[in-house]
Structure 1
Amino acid sequence: MGHREAPRPVETKELGFRRYKLCYLNAVHIVGTTIYKDTYIDHDFAHHIAYEIDSGIKVVHTPGHSSHDVSVVAKNVEAHGRVAVVGDLFECEEDLRDPSLWQKSSCNPKLQLEYRTKILEKANFIVPGHGPAFKVTPEVRRLPLIALES
């Protein structure tokens, strides 16, 4: 087994902070709504345009927890259907029944609820920011509407 050189910090004047050299030099790096491969890639997430990785995987803007959050949606995942990897859009499965778990750390709870609802409408499984993945059942799909009423 070989050993990889540790990433070295690189000063980036345009961003004003230190950044580490990317370990996978030929990869497209997506961090929030920022996309980078050799140079920054301009992509219009603000107008709800998904960034397509391939025909079955796309990155969609899902703001609310923060203004730059994104989710990765994969279609036709064997035995699971459509899977959404959502970060802190959903903290964990328990936050479906206890909205305070996600609302207390949300920069825009109303917007976050809107995107939570959109993901619940389309996903069969959700991988939250914390905790195990969970299946989206018909009961789970109704839960965000309950949160609006309370």
Structure 2
Amino acid sequence: MSERLRQRFGTAAGAAPAPAEQPATPPTLITSATVRTPLVQPALVATVAAEPHRPEEAEAEEYQAFGQEYPETDGTIELRFGEEECWVLFRHFLKRVEASGDSLLTLICTDSVVTISGQGLRELRRLLRAGKLDFVQEYDARRFAPLKPDQPVVENIAPMTAGQIPA
């Protein structure tokens, strides 16, 4: 071992220093006093304290029934429904799409069936066929802004696995 390494580490190469040689470093407790920038800005605290949370007054998101958020993603469709639930459907498991007018689509997959009902779903069929679709979103009036006239809307997404499909 070189003299430089011996001076730097104090032992032979690969050997750990003796416990007595190791400096004792107490654990550091991070508190708001040890952080230079406050963890919560005072103005934000005052705003939160002065205005109680009212979900009914929160600004609602703009609703989009279906589309393509990530053009680089190929092969999956995220079906969003209910309270934060979703299924990711892999396109290569999709075997057939059945449509009934402009209001009902049934996606028949190798191990499941998904029924999508709503209004104005003709464009959904076209995007599905063209492979330019990576999400379908069920409408939730508590979360999204009110619908515009003639806006496509997915009212219900009902996925069923093979075990749930009636014989």
TM-score by length of 1: 0.24
Rg larger for: 2
TM-score by length of 2: 0.23
